[in-house]
Structure 1
Amino acid sequence: MVLTEPIVYKNIEGLKEIQDVVSFQEEIWGKDAVTPLPQLIAAAHHGGILIGAFNKGELLGFSYGFSGYKNGEAYLISHMTGVCSKYQNYGIGLQLKLKQRNWAVDYGYSKIVWTFDPLEARNAYFNLNKLGAYAKTYYPSYYGEMTDKLNLGLPSDRFLAEWDICSNRVKNTLAGVIQNDISVKNYRHLLAWRNLRNVPYPLDEEPVKGEKGYLIPVPVNFQSLKQENDEAAKAWRYKLRNAVRNALSEGYTVTGVLKNSNTHVHFYILENENLSTH
């Protein structure tokens, strides 16, 4: 798809464009995962933010967030971000998050949070490596049993991504300064795996022993894996859940994704450090 005019990013507050966002959600996730029109209108006019990406008036993507407050801290909850599949290689998702960050900083927020599926490696890389977010909370079956086309058939486990938008970690990541220490490749694996007829299978978990960091494998393309082998997909859900939660309970934080071009898995990087102070 070739764009002949630049993509325009703007806050959405008008009824017609909010209606377009509702229809857009249905196209991506199906009707069972839509944030309804009244909630979007209320949030857009009372402290939330709805940002759209447009080309010649056509909605290509959006990001929706509303205010949250917990344990004495106010933050923005980035509830949904979606980009039309035809335009997913134009950097629209990144620009939407950056526009959201700029708005949040101006509005007085210092943190944005959202959830994402731990088995979606591409999303994880974007959230952790591209944006500089981190995860130290894992929610098993966060939304219960979902029936939309991306989540059908498996517990809806989620990481809580925490994005300290004013931190040096985030500023350096967005500026391209931060790179993973080469030593992370030598971290011990907390979950074994193998390829069986070109399908990756999780095997035995290893105990956490207080080392500086660990690696945990995650399938490169979980949606394809689900279509090819439902048994393997379910095994990954439960094995990854156990391995990650064991490490998080010992004080580790998910800090990034180590890409592995030679196999069917990438690796989560878990390190024993407090990134919220960086």
Structure 2
Amino acid sequence: MTGHREATARTGVVIRELREVPEFEQVYALFDGIWHPEPRNVPMTVELMIGFAHTGNYVAGAFEGERLVGASVGFRGRERSLHSHVTGAVVTGRGIGYALKAHQREWCRKNGLDTITWTFDPLVRRNARFNLVKLGALPEKYLPDYYGEMADAINEGDPSDRVLTVWRVRDAGNASPTPGVANRPVLLEAGDDGWPVVRKAEGDVVLVGTPPDIERLRREDPAAARAWRAAMREVLGGLMEAGGHVAALTNHGEYVVTVRRLFHRGFAAL
């Protein structure tokens, strides 16, 4: 993975830790503009950011001149870990999110932390690609309806299933060898109508597909989006609960899952 200084230089922004109330208010406004949450469901309050920043936790912003264009908030967890609770950028396609994660990783190194954890929606293919392919982080646990009901423009009306993802600070960017995926059985994929298709299959490495654009599907065909949520929980959630390990993501947006002696609700992996 690119170092944080190089990653930041490519974006043309300056990333720094935040300490002042007006800065936290800018972060609050930035997150509000991204998620458009109801007041009861804001990603992070100003008061919490103040408390986090002044008790040795991570609150950082990416600035383009005087304008805040990205921010990340995390707090220390167990076993020398930082939990990255929320990260967002208002400008896409410029690598600001990547630069924030590189800065976060360097912060953890300097503060003696070994891992960074966060959650993401396993249905969102672009986020899976960013986390697994670009950063080299890997999901370790499936969390059904983790946040409960979420009242914002992106997540409202959909169960908040997430996968807990772990990024090892010392060897981030040094991905493990990826199992071969040629001719591996596909347990979940999109049908011609966009709805999920679940199949029975056997194998020590299996593929679990994702919808091309779940956010568009939620707007245009909510019933299909709900079917994808149920199918992903059943297939990926079931495999991970039974000990399956997500090892990679294919170029087609399929999770590569290694399994051993598993049997789960209608499909077997020997």
TM-score (norm 1): 0.84
For 2:157, the equivalent position in structure 1 comes to 153
Compared CA separation, residues 66 and 212, structure 1 to 2 (3 A): same
Note the C-alpha offset of 1:13: 1.1
d(CA) in 1 for partners of 2:190 and 2:174?
Answer: 33
Deviations 1:195-232 (A, max 9, x none): 12xxx11123425x4x3311011012111111111111
Query: How far apart in 1 are the matches of 2:141 and 2:43?
Result: 25
**Secondary structure of the structure 2 residue equivalent to 1:233:** helix
Q: Which residue of 2 aligns with 1:171?
A: 173
Aligned with 1:29 (options 28, 35, 39):
35
Residue 45 of structure 1 is matched in structure 2 by: 54
Mapped partners of 1:226, 1:179: distance in 2:
34
**Which amino acid in structure 1 is aligned with residue 207 of structure 2?**
L
Q: Aligned residue for 1:263?
A: none
Shift of 1:257: 1.7
TM-score between the two structures when normalised by the length of structure 2? 0.86
For residues 249-274 of structure 1, what are the alpha-carbon distances to aligned partners after superposition, in whole Å with 9 as ceiling and x for unaligned? Answer: 332212222122xxxxx21111249x
**Aligned residue number for residue 265 of structure 2:** none
The question of whether the paired residues in 2 share the 8 Å contact of 1:136 and 1:252 is answered with: no
2:67 matches 1:62: no
Structural mapping, 1:107-122, within 5 Å: 107-122=111-126
The aligned counterpart of 1:189 is: 186
CA offsets 1:144-165 (integer angstroms, 9 cap, x no match)? 1111010011100000011111
* Deviation by residue 1:12-42 (Cα, 9 ceiling, x = unmatched): 1111111100111111112423311111001
In structure 1, the residue matched to 2:18 is 12
SS in 2 for 1:148: coil
Q: Secondary structure at the match of 2:145?
A: coil
**Mapped partners of 2:131, 2:93: distance in 1:** 16
**In the TM superposition, what whole-angstrom CA distance separates every residue of 1:118-167 from its partner, at most 9, and x where no partner exists?**
11110011011111111121111111111101001110000001111113
**RMSD of equivalent CA atoms:** 1.8
| Farther off after superposition, 111-120 or 10-19 | 10-19
SS at match of 1:190: strand
- The 4+ residue runs of structure 1 with deviation greater than 4 A are 178-181
Query: Offset at 1:56?
Result: 1.2
Q: Hey, what's the Cα distance between the residues in 1 that align with 2:246 and 2:42?
A: 27
Distance (whole Å) between structure 2 residues aligned to residue 54 and residue 193 of structure 1: 40
Aligned to 1:253: 245
**Mean alpha-carbon deviation: is it higher for 101-110 or for 28-37?**
28-37
Amino acid at match of 1:35: M
2:195 paired residue number: 201
Distance in 2, matches of 1:81 and 1:179, equals 28
SS of the equivalent of 1:256 reads strand
Aligned-partner Cα distance in 2 for 1:204–1:79: 32
Hey, what's the Cα distance between the residues in 1 that align with 2:121 and 2:14? 29
CA distance in 1, matches of 2:237, 2:43: 29
Task: Say whether residues 1:123 and 2:110 are aligned partners.
Answer: no
5+ residue gaps in structure 2? 1-10, 261-270
The 2-side partners of 1:121 and 1:137 are apart by 17
1:48-92: CA deviation from partner (whole Å, max 9, x where unpaired) = 1111111111000011110112xxx231000000000xx211100
Partner of 2:86: 80
Cα distance in 2 for partners of 1:185, 1:93 equals: 32
Counterpart of 1:60 in 2: which secondary structure?
Answer: strand
Report the identity percentage. 34
Q: Which runs of 5+ in 1 are unaligned?
A: 261-265, 274-278
Which SS does the other structure have where 1:141 is aligned? coil
